A and B are shown apart, each in its own frame.
Chain A
Amino acid sequence: MIVLGMVILTSLAFDFTNGFHDTANAMATSIATGALKPKTAVALSAVLNLVGAFLSVQVALTVTNSVIRIQDSTGAPNAALTANGGSALLLIVLAGLVGAILWNLLTWLLGLPSSSSHALFGGLIGATIAGLGFSAVKWVGTDTKLDGVVGKVILPALMSPVIAAVVAMTGTWLIYKLTATVAERFKIEGFRWGQIGSASLVSLAHGMNDAQKTMGIITLALIASGQWHDLHAIPLWVKVACATAIALGTFIGGWRIIRTLGKGLVEIDSPQGMAAESASAATIIISSHLGFALSTTHVATGSIIGTGLGRKGAQVRWGVALRMIVAWLITLPSAGLVGAVTWGIGNVIGGIGGAAVVFLILVIFSSYMFWHSRKNPVGHHNVNDEWEASADEALPVESVKEVVR
Protein backbone atom coordinates (compact mmCIF):
# COMPACT_ATOMS: atom_id res chain seq x y z
CA MET A 1 0.00 0.00 0.00
CA ILE A 2 2.80 2.38 0.90
CA VAL A 3 4.67 1.33 -2.22
CA LEU A 4 1.54 1.92 -4.30
CA GLY A 5 1.34 5.42 -2.85
CA MET A 6 4.93 6.09 -3.86
CA VAL A 7 4.25 4.82 -7.38
CA ILE A 8 1.25 7.12 -7.71
CA LEU A 9 3.18 10.12 -6.41
CA THR A 10 6.07 9.37 -8.76
CA SER A 11 3.69 8.96 -11.72
CA LEU A 12 2.17 12.35 -11.01
CA ALA A 13 5.64 13.83 -10.65
CA PHE A 14 6.48 12.41 -14.08
CA ASP A 15 3.28 13.87 -15.50
CA PHE A 16 4.30 17.23 -14.05
CA THR A 17 7.75 17.11 -15.67
CA ASN A 18 6.04 15.99 -18.88
CA GLY A 19 3.99 19.19 -18.74
CA PHE A 20 6.79 21.64 -18.12
CA HIS A 21 9.20 19.91 -20.46
CA ASP A 22 6.72 20.26 -23.30
CA THR A 23 5.31 23.76 -22.77
CA ALA A 24 7.90 24.85 -25.28
CA ASN A 25 6.56 22.59 -28.03
CA ALA A 26 3.39 24.63 -28.24
CA MET A 27 4.33 28.04 -26.95
CA ALA A 28 8.02 28.69 -27.71
CA THR A 29 7.25 30.29 -31.07
CA SER A 30 4.41 32.50 -29.83
CA ILE A 31 6.58 33.70 -26.96
CA ALA A 32 9.57 34.34 -29.20
CA THR A 33 7.61 36.41 -31.71
CA GLY A 34 5.74 38.30 -29.01
CA ALA A 35 2.32 37.09 -30.18
CA LEU A 36 1.61 36.29 -26.56
CA LYS A 37 3.17 37.55 -23.35
CA PRO A 38 5.19 34.72 -21.78
CA LYS A 39 2.90 34.34 -18.78
CA THR A 40 -0.27 34.47 -20.88
CA ALA A 41 1.15 31.84 -23.19
CA VAL A 42 1.90 29.32 -20.45
CA ALA A 43 -1.47 29.96 -18.79
CA LEU A 44 -3.32 29.39 -22.07
CA SER A 45 -1.31 26.27 -22.76
CA ALA A 46 -1.98 24.95 -19.24
CA VAL A 47 -5.74 25.38 -19.58
CA LEU A 48 -5.75 23.67 -22.97
CA ASN A 49 -3.66 20.79 -21.64
CA LEU A 50 -6.19 20.37 -18.85
CA VAL A 51 -9.07 20.34 -21.31
CA GLY A 52 -7.19 17.98 -23.61
CA ALA A 53 -6.47 15.57 -20.76
CA PHE A 54 -10.17 15.30 -19.99
CA LEU A 55 -11.09 14.90 -23.64
CA SER A 56 -8.81 11.91 -24.03
CA VAL A 57 -11.20 9.25 -22.88
CA GLN A 58 -9.59 6.42 -24.79
CA VAL A 59 -8.49 3.79 -22.32
CA ALA A 60 -4.71 3.94 -22.31
CA LEU A 61 -4.29 1.01 -20.00
CA THR A 62 -2.17 -0.88 -22.50
CA VAL A 63 0.31 1.97 -22.93
CA THR A 64 3.29 -0.16 -21.84
CA ASN A 65 2.32 -3.07 -24.09
CA SER A 66 4.05 -1.79 -27.17
CA VAL A 67 7.50 -2.05 -25.58
CA ILE A 68 7.47 -4.37 -22.58
CA ARG A 69 5.66 -7.53 -21.54
CA ILE A 70 4.25 -6.89 -18.10
CA GLN A 71 0.58 -6.95 -19.15
CA ASP A 72 -1.52 -9.14 -21.42
CA SER A 73 -3.37 -7.75 -24.41
CA THR A 74 -6.46 -6.85 -22.37
CA GLY A 75 -4.35 -4.70 -20.07
CA ALA A 76 -4.39 -7.07 -17.10
CA PRO A 77 -0.97 -7.32 -15.44
CA ASN A 78 0.86 -10.64 -15.75
CA ALA A 79 -0.15 -13.00 -12.97
CA ALA A 80 3.48 -13.69 -12.06
CA LEU A 81 4.00 -10.03 -11.18
CA THR A 82 0.89 -9.46 -9.09
CA ALA A 83 1.75 -11.82 -6.24
CA ASN A 84 2.35 -10.20 -2.88
CA GLY A 85 0.28 -7.10 -3.61
CA GLY A 86 1.92 -6.64 -7.02
CA SER A 87 5.22 -5.63 -5.47
CA ALA A 88 7.30 -6.98 -8.39
CA LEU A 89 5.37 -4.91 -10.92
CA LEU A 90 5.27 -1.85 -8.70
CA LEU A 91 9.04 -1.84 -8.30
CA ILE A 92 9.58 -2.05 -12.08
CA VAL A 93 7.16 0.80 -12.69
CA LEU A 94 8.63 2.89 -9.87
CA ALA A 95 12.22 2.44 -11.06
CA GLY A 96 11.19 3.15 -14.65
CA LEU A 97 9.46 6.37 -13.64
CA VAL A 98 12.47 7.49 -11.61
CA GLY A 99 14.65 6.98 -14.68
CA ALA A 100 12.25 9.01 -16.81
CA ILE A 101 11.95 11.90 -14.34
CA LEU A 102 15.67 12.22 -13.67
CA TRP A 103 16.43 12.29 -17.39
CA ASN A 104 13.68 14.86 -17.97
CA LEU A 105 15.11 17.08 -15.25
CA LEU A 106 18.66 16.78 -16.50
CA THR A 107 17.73 17.71 -20.06
CA TRP A 108 15.66 20.60 -18.73
CA LEU A 109 18.66 21.83 -16.77
CA LEU A 110 20.63 21.80 -20.01
CA GLY A 111 17.75 23.48 -21.86
CA LEU A 112 17.37 20.59 -24.26
CA PRO A 113 13.94 19.63 -25.58
CA SER A 114 14.10 15.85 -25.30
CA SER A 115 11.13 13.56 -25.60
CA SER A 116 9.20 12.76 -22.42
CA SER A 117 7.68 9.68 -23.98
CA HIS A 118 11.11 8.34 -24.89
CA ALA A 119 12.24 8.98 -21.34
CA LEU A 120 9.22 7.10 -20.01
CA PHE A 121 9.65 4.15 -22.35
CA GLY A 122 13.40 4.13 -21.77
CA GLY A 123 13.00 4.05 -17.99
CA LEU A 124 10.44 1.26 -18.16
CA ILE A 125 12.53 -0.77 -20.62
CA GLY A 126 15.61 -0.44 -18.42
CA ALA A 127 13.76 -1.47 -15.28
CA THR A 128 12.17 -4.38 -17.13
CA ILE A 129 15.48 -5.66 -18.47
CA ALA A 130 16.96 -5.49 -14.99
CA GLY A 131 13.95 -7.14 -13.40
CA LEU A 132 12.79 -9.69 -15.94
CA GLY A 133 15.55 -10.00 -18.51
CA PHE A 134 15.93 -9.06 -22.17
CA SER A 135 13.16 -11.36 -23.32
CA ALA A 136 10.54 -9.33 -21.44
CA VAL A 137 11.14 -6.42 -23.80
CA LYS A 138 9.27 -6.42 -27.08
CA TRP A 139 12.03 -5.33 -29.44
CA VAL A 140 10.44 -5.74 -32.87
CA GLY A 141 6.79 -6.16 -33.80
CA THR A 142 5.27 -8.91 -35.87
CA ASP A 143 5.15 -8.74 -39.66
CA THR A 144 1.72 -7.21 -39.95
CA LYS A 145 1.75 -4.56 -37.28
CA LEU A 146 4.05 -1.73 -36.30
CA ASP A 147 5.03 -2.65 -32.77
CA GLY A 148 7.86 -3.06 -30.31
CA VAL A 149 10.75 -0.74 -29.53
CA VAL A 150 11.72 -0.53 -33.20
CA GLY A 151 8.23 0.00 -34.64
CA LYS A 152 6.71 2.18 -31.95
CA VAL A 153 9.67 4.19 -30.76
CA ILE A 154 12.75 4.19 -32.97
CA LEU A 155 11.33 4.35 -36.49
CA PRO A 156 8.69 6.99 -35.70
CA ALA A 157 11.35 9.04 -33.91
CA LEU A 158 13.54 9.00 -37.00
CA MET A 159 10.72 9.91 -39.36
CA SER A 160 8.52 12.36 -37.48
CA PRO A 161 10.93 15.32 -37.31
CA VAL A 162 11.53 14.99 -41.04
CA ILE A 163 7.80 14.87 -41.80
CA ALA A 164 7.14 17.91 -39.63
CA ALA A 165 10.07 19.76 -41.17
CA VAL A 166 8.82 19.14 -44.71
CA VAL A 167 5.31 20.30 -43.82
CA ALA A 168 6.56 23.42 -42.02
CA MET A 169 8.97 24.25 -44.81
CA THR A 170 6.24 23.97 -47.45
CA GLY A 171 3.85 26.03 -45.34
CA THR A 172 6.41 28.74 -44.64
CA TRP A 173 7.43 29.03 -48.26
CA LEU A 174 3.81 29.30 -49.47
CA ILE A 175 2.79 31.78 -46.78
CA TYR A 176 5.65 34.13 -47.59
CA LYS A 177 4.95 33.80 -51.30
CA LEU A 178 1.25 34.52 -50.92
CA THR A 179 1.48 37.46 -48.55
CA ALA A 180 4.52 39.16 -50.09
CA THR A 181 2.39 41.96 -51.54
CA VAL A 182 0.12 42.40 -48.53
CA ALA A 183 0.71 45.55 -46.49
CA GLU A 184 2.41 45.04 -43.14
CA ARG A 185 -0.46 46.39 -41.07
CA PHE A 186 -2.76 43.59 -42.22
CA LYS A 187 -0.16 40.93 -41.65
CA ILE A 188 0.75 41.79 -38.07
CA GLU A 189 -2.67 41.18 -36.58
CA GLY A 190 -3.53 38.31 -38.92
CA PHE A 191 -0.45 36.23 -38.23
CA ARG A 192 -0.73 36.94 -34.55
CA TRP A 193 -4.12 35.25 -34.44
CA GLY A 194 -2.97 32.48 -36.73
CA GLN A 195 -0.12 31.77 -34.37
CA ILE A 196 -2.23 31.79 -31.23
CA GLY A 197 -4.79 29.50 -32.84
CA SER A 198 -2.30 26.96 -34.14
CA ALA A 199 -0.29 26.95 -30.90
CA SER A 200 -3.50 26.33 -28.96
CA LEU A 201 -4.18 23.29 -31.09
CA VAL A 202 -0.76 21.89 -30.27
CA SER A 203 -1.44 22.36 -26.53
CA LEU A 204 -4.79 20.63 -26.80
CA ALA A 205 -3.30 17.72 -28.75
CA HIS A 206 -0.53 17.45 -26.17
CA GLY A 207 -3.00 17.16 -23.31
CA MET A 208 -4.95 14.52 -25.20
CA ASN A 209 -1.83 12.51 -26.04
CA ASP A 210 0.42 12.68 -23.04
CA ALA A 211 -1.79 12.79 -19.96
CA GLN A 212 -3.35 9.44 -20.79
CA LYS A 213 0.01 7.67 -20.57
CA THR A 214 0.29 8.52 -16.89
CA MET A 215 -3.38 7.68 -16.36
CA GLY A 216 -2.71 4.25 -17.84
CA ILE A 217 0.31 3.65 -15.63
CA ILE A 218 -1.40 4.64 -12.39
CA THR A 219 -4.39 2.46 -13.25
CA LEU A 220 -2.06 -0.44 -14.04
CA ALA A 221 -0.43 -0.03 -10.62
CA LEU A 222 -3.86 0.04 -8.96
CA ILE A 223 -4.91 -3.15 -10.73
CA ALA A 224 -1.65 -4.93 -9.95
CA SER A 225 -2.09 -4.23 -6.26
CA GLY A 226 -5.74 -5.25 -6.32
CA GLN A 227 -7.20 -1.80 -5.69
CA TRP A 228 -9.06 -1.55 -8.99
CA HIS A 229 -10.58 -4.23 -11.19
CA ASP A 230 -12.15 -2.63 -14.25
CA LEU A 231 -9.97 -3.03 -17.34
CA HIS A 232 -12.14 -0.70 -19.38
CA ALA A 233 -12.23 2.38 -17.24
CA ILE A 234 -9.89 4.70 -15.43
CA PRO A 235 -10.87 5.90 -11.94
CA LEU A 236 -12.14 9.46 -12.02
CA TRP A 237 -9.70 10.68 -9.37
CA VAL A 238 -6.81 9.37 -11.47
CA LYS A 239 -8.05 11.34 -14.44
CA VAL A 240 -8.44 14.51 -12.37
CA ALA A 241 -5.05 14.10 -10.71
CA CYS A 242 -3.22 13.48 -14.00
CA ALA A 243 -4.94 16.31 -15.83
CA THR A 244 -4.10 18.67 -12.98
CA ALA A 245 -0.47 17.53 -12.77
CA ILE A 246 0.22 18.03 -16.47
CA ALA A 247 -1.54 21.40 -16.46
CA LEU A 248 0.38 22.60 -13.41
CA GLY A 249 3.63 21.48 -15.00
CA THR A 250 2.77 23.35 -18.17
CA PHE A 251 1.91 26.46 -16.17
CA ILE A 252 5.24 26.43 -14.34
CA GLY A 253 6.78 26.38 -17.80
CA GLY A 254 10.13 24.89 -18.75
CA TRP A 255 11.58 28.31 -19.54
CA ARG A 256 15.02 26.96 -20.37
CA ILE A 257 13.57 24.77 -23.10
CA ILE A 258 11.23 27.51 -24.33
CA ARG A 259 14.26 29.70 -24.77
CA THR A 260 16.20 27.10 -26.74
CA LEU A 261 13.30 26.28 -29.06
CA GLY A 262 12.06 29.84 -29.50
CA LYS A 263 15.33 31.75 -29.73
CA GLY A 264 18.15 29.24 -30.05
CA LEU A 265 17.28 27.21 -33.10
CA VAL A 266 15.97 29.80 -35.56
CA GLU A 267 15.15 33.49 -35.24
CA ILE A 268 11.42 33.23 -35.79
CA ASP A 269 8.97 35.72 -37.29
CA SER A 270 5.19 35.47 -36.86
CA PRO A 271 4.41 33.86 -40.24
CA GLN A 272 7.02 31.22 -39.47
CA GLY A 273 5.52 30.71 -36.03
CA MET A 274 2.14 30.06 -37.57
CA ALA A 275 3.58 27.69 -40.17
CA ALA A 276 5.55 25.77 -37.54
CA GLU A 277 2.66 25.34 -35.12
CA SER A 278 0.19 24.38 -37.86
CA ALA A 279 2.61 21.75 -39.11
CA SER A 280 3.11 20.43 -35.56
CA ALA A 281 -0.59 20.34 -34.77
CA ALA A 282 -1.48 18.57 -38.01
CA THR A 283 1.33 16.02 -37.72
CA ILE A 284 0.63 15.18 -34.06
CA ILE A 285 -3.12 14.91 -34.44
CA ILE A 286 -3.06 12.89 -37.65
CA SER A 287 -0.41 10.44 -36.57
CA SER A 288 -1.91 9.79 -33.16
CA HIS A 289 -5.10 9.03 -35.00
CA LEU A 290 -3.37 6.60 -37.33
CA GLY A 291 -1.66 4.92 -34.39
CA PHE A 292 1.77 6.13 -35.48
CA ALA A 293 3.26 6.82 -32.08
CA LEU A 294 5.40 9.91 -32.08
CA SER A 295 6.85 12.43 -29.74
CA THR A 296 5.45 15.96 -29.58
CA THR A 297 8.96 17.20 -28.93
CA HIS A 298 10.47 15.70 -32.06
CA VAL A 299 7.65 17.07 -34.16
CA ALA A 300 7.86 20.58 -32.72
CA THR A 301 11.61 20.74 -33.19
CA GLY A 302 11.33 19.42 -36.74
CA SER A 303 8.72 22.05 -37.54
CA ILE A 304 10.84 24.89 -36.23
CA ILE A 305 13.86 23.74 -38.21
CA GLY A 306 11.62 23.38 -41.28
CA THR A 307 10.34 26.88 -40.93
CA GLY A 308 13.92 28.13 -40.87
CA LEU A 309 14.64 26.23 -44.07
CA GLY A 310 11.51 27.50 -45.81
CA ARG A 311 12.19 31.19 -45.47
CA LYS A 312 14.74 32.84 -47.65
CA GLY A 313 17.57 34.27 -45.63
CA ALA A 314 16.57 32.64 -42.35
CA GLN A 315 19.26 30.72 -40.53
CA VAL A 316 19.15 27.49 -38.64
CA ARG A 317 21.74 27.22 -35.87
CA TRP A 318 22.87 23.71 -36.67
CA GLY A 319 25.12 23.59 -33.62
CA VAL A 320 22.07 23.87 -31.38
CA ALA A 321 20.14 21.40 -33.54
CA LEU A 322 22.99 18.90 -33.31
CA ARG A 323 23.05 19.04 -29.50
CA MET A 324 19.33 18.32 -29.49
CA ILE A 325 19.65 15.39 -31.84
CA VAL A 326 22.38 13.90 -29.66
CA ALA A 327 20.07 14.32 -26.66
CA TRP A 328 17.31 12.50 -28.53
CA LEU A 329 19.58 9.61 -29.41
CA ILE A 330 20.71 9.04 -25.85
CA THR A 331 17.36 9.70 -24.13
CA LEU A 332 16.10 6.13 -24.33
CA PRO A 333 19.31 4.35 -23.24
CA SER A 334 20.11 6.92 -20.53
CA ALA A 335 16.67 6.80 -18.93
CA GLY A 336 16.90 3.03 -19.30
CA LEU A 337 20.20 2.90 -17.48
CA VAL A 338 18.86 4.96 -14.57
CA GLY A 339 15.75 2.77 -14.50
CA ALA A 340 17.84 -0.41 -14.42
CA VAL A 341 20.20 0.84 -11.72
CA THR A 342 17.42 2.09 -9.47
CA TRP A 343 15.57 -1.21 -9.92
CA GLY A 344 18.74 -3.01 -8.89
CA ILE A 345 19.13 -0.89 -5.75
CA GLY A 346 15.47 -1.31 -4.87
CA ASN A 347 15.66 -5.05 -5.42
CA VAL A 348 18.79 -5.61 -3.33
CA ILE A 349 17.30 -3.83 -0.35
CA GLY A 350 13.89 -5.35 -1.06
CA GLY A 351 10.37 -4.73 0.19
CA ILE A 352 9.08 -1.39 1.33
CA GLY A 353 12.56 -0.31 2.31
CA GLY A 354 13.80 -0.87 -1.23
CA ALA A 355 11.02 1.18 -2.76
CA ALA A 356 11.59 3.89 -0.17
CA VAL A 357 15.28 4.13 -1.05
CA VAL A 358 14.40 4.41 -4.76
CA PHE A 359 11.97 7.18 -3.91
CA LEU A 360 14.61 8.90 -1.80
CA ILE A 361 17.10 8.74 -4.69
CA LEU A 362 14.54 10.53 -6.83
CA VAL A 363 13.97 13.25 -4.25
CA ILE A 364 17.69 13.84 -3.63
CA PHE A 365 18.71 14.06 -7.28
CA SER A 366 15.69 16.18 -8.22
CA SER A 367 16.39 18.65 -5.43
CA TYR A 368 20.03 18.82 -6.45
CA MET A 369 19.14 19.64 -10.05
CA PHE A 370 16.56 22.18 -8.98
CA TRP A 371 19.09 23.83 -6.69
CA HIS A 372 21.63 23.84 -9.52
CA SER A 373 19.13 25.52 -11.84
CA ARG A 374 18.72 28.46 -9.43
CA LYS A 375 22.31 29.51 -10.03
CA ASN A 376 21.43 30.53 -13.54
CA PRO A 377 17.66 30.96 -13.61
CA VAL A 378 15.72 31.34 -16.82
CA GLY A 379 12.18 32.64 -16.42
CA HIS A 380 9.52 34.67 -18.13
CA HIS A 381 11.63 37.80 -17.54
CA ASN A 382 14.63 36.77 -19.63
CA VAL A 383 13.29 34.05 -21.89
CA ASN A 384 13.50 36.24 -24.99
CA ASP A 385 16.94 37.74 -24.41
CA GLU A 386 19.23 37.84 -27.40
CA TRP A 387 20.74 34.43 -28.10
CA GLU A 388 24.51 34.55 -27.78
CA ALA A 389 26.83 31.76 -28.74
CA SER A 390 26.44 30.08 -25.39
CA ALA A 391 29.17 28.88 -23.11
CA ASP A 392 28.86 25.28 -24.15
CA GLU A 393 29.01 26.05 -27.83
CA ALA A 394 32.22 27.94 -27.25
CA LEU A 395 33.47 25.07 -25.16
CA PRO A 396 35.26 23.12 -27.90
CA VAL A 397 37.46 26.10 -28.71
CA GLU A 398 38.37 26.53 -25.06
CA SER A 399 39.18 22.88 -24.60
CA VAL A 400 41.31 22.93 -27.73
CA LYS A 401 43.30 25.78 -26.20
CA GLU A 402 43.70 23.76 -23.02
CA VAL A 403 45.06 20.86 -25.00
CA VAL A 404 47.43 23.06 -26.97
CA ARG A 405 48.83 24.44 -23.78
Chain B
Amino acid sequence: MSQLLLALQAGAQVLFAALLLGAGLPVIFSLGMRALAYGAGGTAEVGVDMKPHPVGKALAGLCFGVVVLAIVLGISWIVGTGMGYSLVFDHLLPTFRKK
Protein backbone atom coordinates (compact mmCIF):
# COMPACT_ATOMS: atom_id res chain seq x y z
CA MET B 1 0.00 0.00 0.00
CA SER B 2 2.76 2.40 0.92
CA GLN B 3 4.33 1.67 -2.46
CA LEU B 4 1.17 2.86 -4.14
CA LEU B 5 1.19 6.09 -2.15
CA LEU B 6 4.85 6.66 -2.93
CA ALA B 7 4.21 6.05 -6.61
CA LEU B 8 1.25 8.41 -6.64
CA GLN B 9 3.37 11.05 -4.94
CA ALA B 10 6.22 10.66 -7.44
CA GLY B 11 3.71 10.55 -10.28
CA ALA B 12 2.09 13.78 -9.14
CA GLN B 13 5.49 15.48 -9.06
CA VAL B 14 6.29 14.25 -12.55
CA LEU B 15 2.89 15.32 -13.83
CA PHE B 16 3.21 18.80 -12.41
CA ALA B 17 6.74 19.39 -13.71
CA ALA B 18 5.96 17.80 -17.07
CA LEU B 19 2.89 19.99 -17.51
CA LEU B 20 4.97 23.04 -16.77
CA LEU B 21 7.74 22.15 -19.22
CA GLY B 22 6.12 19.72 -21.65
CA ALA B 23 3.02 21.84 -22.27
CA GLY B 24 4.30 25.22 -21.10
CA LEU B 25 7.26 25.46 -23.47
CA PRO B 26 5.18 24.55 -26.57
CA VAL B 27 2.73 27.23 -25.49
CA ILE B 28 5.49 29.85 -25.33
CA PHE B 29 6.68 28.58 -28.70
CA SER B 30 3.18 29.02 -30.14
CA LEU B 31 2.99 32.52 -28.72
CA GLY B 32 6.30 33.23 -30.41
CA MET B 33 4.91 32.05 -33.71
CA ARG B 34 1.87 34.22 -33.26
CA ALA B 35 4.05 37.21 -32.49
CA LEU B 36 6.19 36.46 -35.53
CA ALA B 37 3.14 36.42 -37.79
CA TYR B 38 2.00 39.70 -36.26
CA GLY B 39 5.48 41.12 -36.78
CA ALA B 40 5.38 40.28 -40.47
CA GLY B 41 1.94 41.75 -41.04
CA GLY B 42 0.04 38.58 -40.33
CA THR B 43 -1.82 38.16 -43.61
CA ALA B 44 -2.36 34.79 -45.19
CA GLU B 45 -1.22 35.97 -48.63
CA VAL B 46 2.22 37.34 -49.29
CA GLY B 47 2.23 40.95 -50.46
CA VAL B 48 -1.28 41.93 -49.40
CA ASP B 49 -1.68 44.67 -46.81
CA MET B 50 1.77 44.12 -45.35
CA LYS B 51 2.17 46.26 -42.29
CA PRO B 52 5.18 44.99 -40.37
CA HIS B 53 5.20 45.38 -36.62
CA PRO B 54 8.70 45.44 -35.10
CA VAL B 55 7.22 44.82 -31.64
CA GLY B 56 5.92 41.49 -32.86
CA LYS B 57 9.34 40.48 -34.08
CA ALA B 58 10.94 41.42 -30.78
CA LEU B 59 8.30 39.48 -28.83
CA ALA B 60 8.81 36.46 -31.06
CA GLY B 61 12.53 36.59 -30.47
CA LEU B 62 11.92 36.74 -26.74
CA CYS B 63 9.59 33.72 -26.79
CA PHE B 64 11.91 31.57 -28.91
CA GLY B 65 14.80 32.68 -26.71
CA VAL B 66 13.03 31.50 -23.57
CA VAL B 67 12.30 28.11 -25.13
CA VAL B 68 15.88 27.58 -26.33
CA LEU B 69 17.31 28.74 -23.00
CA ALA B 70 15.04 26.37 -21.05
CA ILE B 71 16.16 23.43 -23.21
CA VAL B 72 19.85 24.28 -22.95
CA LEU B 73 19.61 24.70 -19.19
CA GLY B 74 17.66 21.47 -18.88
CA ILE B 75 20.27 19.47 -20.79
CA SER B 76 23.19 21.03 -18.92
CA TRP B 77 21.43 20.26 -15.66
CA ILE B 78 21.09 16.57 -16.52
CA VAL B 79 24.59 16.19 -17.92
CA GLY B 80 26.02 18.14 -14.99
CA THR B 81 24.24 15.95 -12.45
CA GLY B 82 25.57 12.86 -14.19
CA MET B 83 29.10 14.17 -13.81
CA GLY B 84 28.60 15.05 -10.17
CA TYR B 85 27.92 18.74 -10.53
CA SER B 86 24.81 20.57 -9.50
CA LEU B 87 23.39 23.56 -11.27
CA VAL B 88 22.79 26.49 -8.97
CA PHE B 89 21.53 29.95 -9.70
CA ASP B 90 23.83 32.63 -8.32
CA HIS B 91 22.07 35.96 -8.71
CA LEU B 92 20.03 34.41 -11.51
CA LEU B 93 23.18 33.33 -13.34
CA PRO B 94 23.39 29.59 -13.82
CA THR B 95 26.64 28.17 -12.46
CA PHE B 96 27.94 24.65 -11.97
CA ARG B 97 29.18 23.59 -8.61
CA LYS B 98 30.98 20.37 -7.71
CA LYS B 99 28.93 18.33 -5.25
Question: Which residue of chain B has its CB nearest to the CB of A150?
Answer: B3
Residues of A within 8 A of B74 (CB): 285
* Contact between A179 and B75, CB atoms less than 8 A apart: no
Contact between B33 and A197, CB atoms less than 8 A apart:
no
B15 at interface by CB-CB < 8 Å: yes
B55 at the interface (CB under 8 A from A): no
Question: Which A residues from 268 to 288 make CB contacts under 8 A with B?
Answer: 274-275, 278-283, 285-287
**Within the complex, what minimum Cβ distance (angstroms) separates A53 from chain B?**
12
Kindly list chain B residues whose C-beta atoms are within 8 Å of the C-beta of A146.
3, 6-7, 10
B37 to A, closest residue via Cβ? A186
A238 to B42, CA, bound (A): 54
B34 lies within 8 A of A140 (CB): no
Query: Which A-chain residue is minimally distant from B71 (CB atoms)?
Result: A201
Could you mark each residue 143-172 of chain A with 1 if its beta carbon is under 8 Å from any beta carbon of chain B, else 0? Answer: 111111011000110011001101110110
| Min distance, Cβ B57 to any Cβ of chain A, angstroms | 12
Q: Are B15 and A171 in contact (CB under 8 A)?
A: no
Interface range, B side: 35 or more
CA distance A168 to B74 in the complex (A): 19
In the complex, are the beta carbons of A179 and B30 less than 8 A apart?
yes
B37 and A171 contact, CB distance less than 8 A: no
From the candidates A56, A179, A286, name the one contacting B34 in the complex (CB within 8 A): A179
| Interface presence of B78 (CB below 8 A) | yes
In contact, A151 and B3 (Cβ under 8 angstroms) = yes
B15, B23, B71, B74: which has the most chain A beta carbons within 10 Å?
B23
Q: Are B3 and A141 in contact (CB under 8 A)?
A: yes
In the complex, per-residue mask of A127-151: 1 if CB is within 8 Å of any chain B CB, else 0: 0000000000000110111111011
- Among B3, B14, B23, B40, the residue within 8 A (CB) of A278 is B23
For B34, list chain A residues within 8 Å (CB).
178-179, 181-182
Q: Tell me the bound Cα distance from A145 to B83 in angstroms.
A: 24
- A120 to chain B: closest CB distance in Å? 20
Instruction: For the complex, give the distance between the alpha carbons of A119 and B86 in Å.
Output: 33
* A175 interfacial by beta-carbon distance below 8 Å: yes
Q: Are B6 and A145 in contact (CB under 8 A)?
A: yes
Contact B78 A289 (CB under 8 A): yes
Contact status A281-B22, CB under 8 Å: yes
Q: Which of B2, B19, B36, B71 interacts with A190 by CB under 8 Å? A: B36
- Cβ-defined partner of A186 (8 Å) among B15, B18, B21, B33: B33
The reply to whether B26 and A171 contact each other, CB–CB distance below 8 Å, is yes
Task: Give the complex CA separation of A157 and B44 in angstroms.
Answer: 45
Q: A55-B79, A155-B4, A174-B30 are in contact. Are A290 and B22 (CB under 8 A)?
A: no
Closest chain B residue, CB of each to CB of A293:
B10
Q: B29 within 8 Å of A by Cβ?
A: yes
Within the complex, the shortest CB–CB distance from A37 to chain B, in Å, comes to 23
- Once bound together, how far apart are the Cα atoms of A204 and B34, in whole Å? 29
| Other-chain contact of A179, B17, B22, B33 (Cβ < 8 Å) | B33
A-B contact sample (7 more), CB < 8 A, given A140-B3, A148-B3: A55-B78, A166-B15, A166-B19, A174-B30, A175-B26, A183-B43, A275-B23
The 19 sampled A-B contact pairs (Cβ below 8 Å) are A55-B78, A55-B82, A57-B82, A146-B10, A150-B3, A151-B3, A170-B19, A171-B22, A174-B26, A179-B30, A182-B42, A186-B40, A187-B33, A198-B26, A201-B75, A283-B14, A287-B18, A290-B14, A292-B13
Point out residues on B near A: beta carbons under 8 Å: 2-4, 6-8, 10-11, 13-15, 17-19, 21-23, 25-27, 29-34, 36-37, 40, 42-44, 46, 71, 74-75, 78-79, 81-83
List residues of A whose CB falls within 8 A of some B CB: 55-58, 140-141, 143-148, 150-151, 155-156, 159-160, 163-164, 166-168, 170-171, 174-175, 178-179, 181-187, 190-191, 194, 197-198, 201, 204, 208, 274-275, 278-283, 285-287, 289-292
